[in-house]
Amino acid sequence: MEKKINVLIVDDSAIARQTIKEVLSSDPAIGDIVTAPDPIIAFKKIEKDVPDVIILDVEMPRMDGITFLQKIMSQHPMPVIMCSALTEKGCETTLKALEYGAVDIITKPKVGVKLFFKESQILLCDSVKAAARARIKRVPPGAMPRQVEKKLTADVVLPPPTGKAMIRTTERIVAVGASTGGTEALRIFLEELPLDCPGVVIVQHMPEHFTRAFADRLNTLCRIEVKEAADGDSVLRGRALIGPGNRHILLKRSGARYFVEVRDGPLVCRHRPSVDVLFRSAARYAGSNAVGVIMTGMGDDGARGMLEMKEAGAATIAQDEASSVVFGMPNEAIKRNAVDRILPLGSIAGAVLRECLR
């Protein structure tokens, strides 16, 4: 019998603490749930009993959540989920938290907190279970940093591929999917790409408004252009497009031009954007001209779509278990025989470039 996950909730809102505790208590995989109104009290509780996962607010009295996170990750690393309100400042702050070692972000509205957490029961419980499985590394002190009743497939957004792969052309595209741990994995992958690399389209499970700040930050670090995708953006050499949070992103083709369509739609595999939707569109419109990459993440989003890409003639690559924060998504694709190559994170960019030269 698997050990139950013990959780520490650190939030200055009594309503948030109580509601999160009630929601988590409904999951049989989650055990003891302890709460603290600020980081100072949280430190004392950790000294008595170390939790498996911490859910951490950003703005709190006596010590802010980012400072607390830095201290935890430099002294006693453990899985931390940031829980933040969506403000422009908060958006940048929580992205910095990912650099400091947080494994996930849950957006908390300024009003309607109780209703939000009850409606997001599956998301919250899945995030805690993913965090508990994460491989956490010590971060040096000075380092820079919805509930869905039915699990829908990509069929609700676009029909399956016809089964006939497109004729190989000289222009290639790369479709990438990631979730928990993906913000750091994508940075490492994209920093390795040269200015003339094939166009890249990315789904990273991330809340609305966070993807633009995430893309802007990567754009300052990488040689290639990185931007949050807008409907109709061309997929060009030396450019990576990241699907906006809460919108699906699809690859499309008109003649020799690849472009993206950004649209609303139901959650697919409990996500929007969904990796399955992106991968299916790549299978339909790029076929053997595509390379698919599935990275670290909880769940199975992308596994079916990657199989469709492979069946359409695309090359497919999965991040290996040792370098994944959570091996869920890559492992599900591997189990479906959807993957040609299983590689450590540091080898993926080179492999993608070699595939695109074939």
* Phi, psi at 337, each rounded to 5°: 60, 35
Cα 207 to Cα 258: distance, rounded to the nearest angstrom? 26
What amino acid occupies position 335?
K
Strand partners, 226: 240
- Whether 233 is catalytic is no
Domains of the chain, by residue range, sit at 5-133, 154-357
Sign of torsion over alpha carbons 47, 51, 52, 57: negative
Give residue 354's pLDDT: 95
Structure tokens at 224: 């290639």
Strands 290-294, 239-242: pairing kind: unpaired
Give residue 91's pLDDT: 66
Cα 329 to Cα 319: distance, rounded to the nearest angstrom? 9
Q: Which of 179, 281, 323, 324 is catalytic?
A: 179
The predicted model scores a pTM of 0.75
Radius of gyration of the chain (CA): 20
Structure tokens at 150: 């039915």
142-176 burial by CB neighbour count: b if 16+ within 10 A, else e? Answer: eeebeebeeebbbeebbeebeeebbeeeebbbbbb
- Whether 84 is catalytic is no
Give residue 162's pLDDT: 64
Distances from the Cα of 19 to the Cα of 9, 23, 25, 47, 195, angstroms: 11, 6, 10, 25, 48
Give residue 150's pLDDT: 52
Q: What is the DSSP-derived secondary structure letter of residue 268?
A: B
Q: Which of 120, 126, 205, 320 is catalytic?
A: 205
- Whether 301 is catalytic is yes
- 5-133 maps to which CATH number? 3.40.50.2300
Q: Report the topology of domain 154-357.
A: Rossmann fold (3.40.50)
Q: Which of 38, 52, 301, 320 is catalytic?
A: 301
> Mean pLDDT for each consecutive 10-residue tract of the chain (358 residues)?
88 91 92 94 92 91 88 88 66 75 79 74 84 76 47 66 56 94 92 96 87 91 96 96 95 92 90 95 95 93 96 96 92 97 97 92
* Terminal C-alpha separation, the chain: 48
